[in-house]
Structure 1
C-alpha cells in the first residue's frame, strides 16, 4: 500500500516518456531512464542512472527522492537514508522525502527516528495517510498501544478503502489485551478484503512494513475472528 502510494507520487514528478539509454544526456533523461530500469527490477542500473541525474542537477530535490526511494527498494537502507536526508537538509518541509525517510527508518528498526519523522510529516500535511499508518506500526513496536491505535484509526479515516490500517488497529488492540476490539477492527478489514481470512495471505504484510512478530500477532487475531 504505502510502497504503491510513494511510487505513484514519485512517478508524477518526472515525465512518463522514456528515452533509450544512448539518448540520455540531461538530468531528466537519466531520471526517466532510472524509472525504466526500476520498473524492470534492474535496481543497480536504476540507481546508477538516478545518481547521474543528481550529479547533473544537485539542487533538484525530486531527483534525490527518486534515488533514495529506489535505494530503499533495492534494500540499501543506509544509502537511502543519506539520499533522503540530503533533501530534508535543503527542505525540512518536503513531505514526500519525510514519508520515504520515515519508512526507511521503520524497516531499519530506527523506531524513535521513524516516529519523529512521520510525526513531522503528519503535522505538515494532516491529510497525509502514510505517516499515520506507519506510526501505528512503529508505536506498536515501542509498546505505545494507545497512540498506535489512534494513529491507525486516523489512517483508516483518511484511506477508508485500505485494509492495512484496520489490520494494524486490530493488532494493537490484541497486544493491549482487548480481544473484542481486536476482532471488531479485523472484521472491518475482512469486509474490505476477504483475502485477510487466509492465514497464508498475511505473509504479504511484510511488504507493508509489518515485522514477522507483528504478522504472528495478526494471525492470532485472525484465529479468533473467523
Structure 2
C-alpha cells in the first residue's frame, strides 16, 4: 500500500502499556477514584464514557488519554479501540489513528466500523490505494454500508476511474437518500466526465435536500466529509454554473 507521512498502511501496533496507575490517571482525567475498585471491564466502560464526553467537548488530549486507558483495561473491546482511533483522527493524529485501527483489524479483520474509520484516515491522507482496498473490503462485508461506497466514490474520482466512481456514488445515494454528500460527489464526477447538464441536475438534487449547498462558502466544509481541495473547487464550479 501507499505511504503517508512516512507511514505504511501495512505497519502495525502490537502492544499497549499495561495498566499500573489507574487511580492516578482517573484523578488526572476527572474520573472518580472510587471507580478504581471496579472490575477492569467496568473501569474501561467508565473511561470510554468519559472519553466520549471529552471528545464531544472537543477536548481531544483528555479524550485520548481516557480512551487509551479504556483500551489498556479492556483490549478485547473493539468498539473502544475504534473510538480511540477515530478520536485520534479528529485530533489530527492520523498516524496514531491508523496504528490503532490496524491493531483492531488484527484482532478482527471483519470489523466493519474499524474498516470504515481506517479507510477515511487513508482517504484524507491521500493514501488512495489504502482507501480503496479498505473500503472495498468493508463494502463486500456489508453491502448496505453507505460510508464505504461514498468514500470509494471520492477515491475513485481522484484516481480518474470515473465509471467506478459513479457506481459507488450512486450506491451511496441509494443507501442514504437523505444525505446530500453522495449527490455532490456524483455531480463532480459527472462534471469531470464532461456531462455538465447531468452534473447540474444531480447537484440540484443535493440542494433540494439541503439549501446550504446553494452557498459557495458552505462548500468549504466538505473537507470534513472527505473531499479534498480540488474536489471542493469542482463542486463550486458546478454550483456557479447553475
Q: TM-score, normalised by structure 1?
A: 0.89
Does 1:85 pair with 2:102? yes
Structure 1 match to 2:188:
171
Q: 1:21 aligns with which of 14, 31, 43?
A: 31
Q: 2:54 aligns with which of 37, 62, 65?
A: 37
Superposed displacement of residue 73, structure 1: 0.6
Structure 2 match to 1:223:
240
Q: 1:202 aligns with which of 215, 219, 229?
A: 219
Structure 1 match to 2:70:
53
Superposed displacement of residue 181, structure 1: 1.4
| Runs of 5+ consecutive residues of structure 2 not aligned to the other structure | 1-28, 37-42
Q: 1:145 aligns with which of 159, 162, 166?
A: 162
- After superposition, the C-alpha distances for 1:14-55 in whole angstroms (9 at most, x for unaligned) are xxxxx9512443111111111111111110011011111111
| Runs of 5+ consecutive residues of structure 1 not aligned to the other structure | 1-18
Does 1:159 pair with 2:176? yes
Residue 21 of structure 1 aligns to a residue in which SS? Answer: coil
Q: 1:123 aligns with which of 116, 140, 156?
A: 140
- After superposition, the C-alpha distances for 1:133-192 in whole angstroms (9 at most, x for unaligned) are 101111111111111111111100000011110000000011111111111111111111
Q: What is the aligned length?
A: 207
Q: TM-score, normalised by structure 2?
A: 0.83
How many angstroms apart in 2 are the aligned matches of 1:120 and 1:192? 30
**Runs ≥4 in structure 1, deviation > 3 angstroms?**
none
How many angstroms apart in 2 are the aligned matches of 1:70 and 1:59? 18
How many angstroms apart in 1 are the aligned matches of 2:218 and 2:229? 13
How many angstroms apart in 1 are the aligned matches of 2:234 and 2:154? 12
RMSD: 1.2
Does 1:104 pair with 2:104? no
How many angstroms apart in 1 are the aligned matches of 2:53 and 2:90? 14
Q: 1:62 aligns with which of 79, 100, 104?
A: 79
How many angstroms apart in 2 are the aligned matches of 1:29 and 1:157? 38
Structure 1 match to 2:8:
none
Greater CA drift, 210-219 or 188-197 = 188-197
